[in-house]
Chains A and B, each alone.
Chain A
Amino acid sequence: MIAHLPILQVALPLLAAPLCVLLRSARAAWWIYLLASVAAFGSALLLASSVATHGPLHYAVGNWAPPFGIAYVIDAANAFVLVLVSGIAVATAIYAPRSIAAEIDPQRVYLYYACLCLCLTGLLGIVATGDAFNVFVFLEISSLSSYALIALGKRRQALLAAFRYLVMGTLGGTFVLIGIGLAYAVTGTLNMADLAQRLPALYGNRTLTAAVGFVSVGLAIKAAVFPLHAWLPSAYAEAPSAAGVFLSATGTKVAIYAFLRFAFGIFGAGLVFGHLPMSALILIVGTAAMLAGAAIACYQDDLKRILAWSSVGQIGYIVVGLGLASQQGLSAAFLHISAHALIKGGLFATAGIVALRLGTTRIDALAGLARSAPAVFVALLLGGLGLIGVPLTAGFVSKWALVMALIEADQWAVIAAVLLSSLLALVYVGRIIEVAWFREPPLLADTAQPSTPAPMALAMWGLVGVSLVAGVYAAPLSRAATAAAAALLGTAP
């Protein structure tokens, strides 16, 4: 059975989506999505433990040995991301029903769960595959379904946000496709391992250089890396809360993982970071991202928008980590991928609860939240501390690892930028907390607030709690991140 797990954890959510549509019942669709995500999470955990003890797993779809067919290769790096993505999917499943009932036309709910299944399928497929073209196929599945998930936001701006995301995302997808096509033209293969074996002989080839450029820019758009981030803030802010939780925690992370896989598993660090000046470029872009994202977040007046802009900044930390292309840098990147996914997922879950209780996520409306909804306020506070990187939170663990890696690489300017952006994070988190704690609530709002539904609170505390546990008891996560980085750097598949 374990032999088939690599495919099952993608194929089960894939099978779930048409079932949701066929059954046409919101309840059944939710159960299907829940079961599919739990199955995927369980498989991912089993895979991760199997990889940790027995090494990478290979699976030949259709029993066509690679490079003739499509192969799935699970190593420590993608097992890490698989666990993260499917875990967030489970949290979203628990979170979703009440939030969706409040935000989405009941006749469309079953379609919405189908889209969530599809998005999960796409993201898991991108991560699990060992075939370059297969990445593109699943990238399309995840992108298309995310546009739909966002477009159903309550306000009219959601459509515009989704459309902007669609235009940018399609551009990104096309760039990735062009890059893969160019790499195929000079090698004749699409299998990642086979490509990795053939490409070193071609370093300096202009077609290959262009391929690296196209894939990098395409995935940078998907990951919302700073100058290409324009779609992210409005997309995540306007999305329905459940989709916001899922996408903000997984979407950009998977794109970054895909870049890591292309850079280290296909093109090779020797080409991307040795032959081409990508390392310096990535450091500059990442530094700009963390400063600009955090600075703009300070000027937003909507909770979800602050969180979305803060994501732009936080992606900068991940990008800087991977730009170092060292063992420490990469494991810091992996640590921050997981820390930020948990924290931002938890915060978007909190924002969704705020939206449900207050009917808005405007900052002014948060006044008095600390008294009217202390639990929500505490979650907001803990998540915010994680964003700043206060000790005993997951955000601290990853930021510390990043600073250590930067010290080792002698990147003092970047360290200064990390500290400065942490200060900026303190400002925007502080603004939220200040309004919620000190400002007097408007008089009439007090009685009308509905209470927090238990499943939503469970999901919120689950995400925030795991991020805290990871912050206090960081060893397992660090070990997993180190193994993931080693898998990418070492004998890359």
Chain B
Amino acid sequence: MNGFVWIDIVLFTILAATAVGLARTRQLFAAAMLSGLFSLTSACIFVLQDAVDVAFTEAAVGAGMTTVLFLGTLALTRSREKVTPPRRSIPAALIAIFTGGVLIYASTDMPPFAAADTPVQQHPLTQRFLDDSMTEIGVPNVVTSVLASYRGYDTLGETVVVFTAAIAVLMLLGRGRPATSAEPKPREALPQPIQHDQRVLRVVSKLMLPFILLFALYVQFHGDYGPGGGFQAGVIFASGLILYALVFGLDAARAAVSPAALRRMVPLGVLIYAGVGFATLLLGGAFLDYNVLDAHDPAHGQHLGILLVELGVGITVTAAMLMLFYSFAARGVGR
């Protein structure tokens, strides 16, 4: 047994303990924190399995963004879970145990972990992605090749999922249009910027902010070469701005990035992605066939296509995440 197995065992133990704690606690703030911990631990496990891109996303979305949204929701509700009578949770417990049992049953015939001769390893699919993606697409990060080109249509779908979520939240929480200027704003209710004596927090946040945003851009445009891409970049960019909103107040953040701009950016990203698809159709190729984007050099066309669709993903994810946060925060204001 090598050291990695021990690390795995420790991480999985933490994961299981977190899950139990999460299920048992009635303190919803603690639950939000534990779910962040759960995501972070999962991210560590993904890193150990060499799935760095996935780990990146899990850490950014699961541990970062989701926790912020949970906290935003908790600001609107009570922080203690209503007590469910034990007899009502028995069926749920039975279902959970049964599902777990089926998963264990399923795992008994799974190919051994990390074996070299699993069906996945031996399928021509994996072979082709690993061997030929460099010549066919020319992007060193195979994950990006698969995500943005081979299975680019799925990624378009996932972007639309994010878009749908943003639309749904806007429809439920947002006012359809931004409040007209004539309408008086409930001044006192807006979340107050953190008090002036929090000087350390303000100074350090201001100092860090440019680097966070720069890092987001790096993740966005370096996704071809290393782990990263539009999803992660969008979340990081949004979390930078959310930090700004938390420290300097919602008004300041709205002045920097207005809700109206976000409402345009969310569909814009999807439009860019789908637009690339239609452009390739018009250029005589199949939907999302980036090769036709450059008539002389297909690999260059692939580069261009991936750059554009990742940009679309980044724009939609950034705007959607910020919009979710704004909607929750502004809702908290009304109360």
Range for the number of chain B residues in contact with chain A: 35 or more
Docked-complex contact B168 and A210, CB < 8 angstroms: no
CB of B81 to closest CB in A, whole Å: 15
Contact string, A169-213, partner B, CB cutoff 8 A, digits 1/0?
A: 000000000100010111111000000001000000111111101
Do A137 and B119 contact each other (CB < 8 Å), given the known contacts A11-B277, A213-B102? no
Say yes or no: A188 contacts B118, CB within 8 Å: yes
Closest Cβ of chain B to A242, distance in Å, is 14
CA distance A140 to B160 in the complex (A): 9
| A17-B267 in contact (CB<8A) | yes
Which residues in window 132-155 of B have CB below 8 A to A?
149-154
Total CB contacts across the A-B interface at under 8 A: 186
Establish whether residues A61 and B167, one from each chain, have CB atoms under 8 Å apart when the complex forms: no
Interface majority SS on A: helix, strand, loop or mixed? Answer: helix
Contacts of A17 in B (CB 8 A): 160, 163-164, 167, 267, 270
Segment at the interface with A among B240-248, B251-259, B278-286? B278-286
Closest Cβ neighbor of B155 among chain A residues: A137
A21: chain B residues within 8 A (beta carbon): 167, 263, 266-267
Indicate if the CB atoms of B157 and A112 lie closer than 8 Å. no
- Specify which chain A residues have a CB less than 8 angstroms from the CB of B128 in the assembled complex: 68
CB within 8 Å for A111 and B157 given contacts A15-B278, A205-B109: no
Question: Counting CB contacts under 8 A, is A134 at the interface?
Answer: yes
| B60, CB-defined interface residue at 8 Å | no
A33 at the interface (CB under 8 A from B): no
The yes or no answer to B334 lying at the interface (CB within 8 A) is no
The CB with the most chain A CB atoms within 10 A, among B125, B163, B164, B170, is that of: B164
Which residues in window 259-274 of B have CB below 8 A to A? Answer: 263-264, 266-268, 270-271, 274
What are 30 A-B pairs at a CB distance below 8 A?
A: A14-B160, A15-B278, A17-B267, A17-B270, A18-B268, A18-B271, A61-B153, A62-B152, A62-B289, A62-B290, A70-B154, A108-B171, A111-B176, A114-B167, A137-B158, A144-B168, A148-B168, A151-B171, A151-B172, A182-B106, A185-B111, A187-B119, A188-B118, A188-B119, A188-B126, A189-B123, A207-B106, A210-B102, A210-B105, A214-B102
Interface residues of chain B, those whose CB is within 8 Å of chain A, are 102-103, 105-111, 118-126, 128-129, 149-154, 156-158, 160-161, 163-165, 167-168, 170-172, 175-177, 263-264, 266-268, 270-271, 274-275, 277-278, 281, 285-291
Known contacts A59-B287, A151-B168; 15 additional CB pairs below 8 A are A7-B286, A63-B286, A69-B153, A70-B151, A118-B167, A133-B154, A134-B153, A145-B167, A148-B168, A184-B120, A185-B111, A189-B123, A206-B109, A207-B106, A211-B106
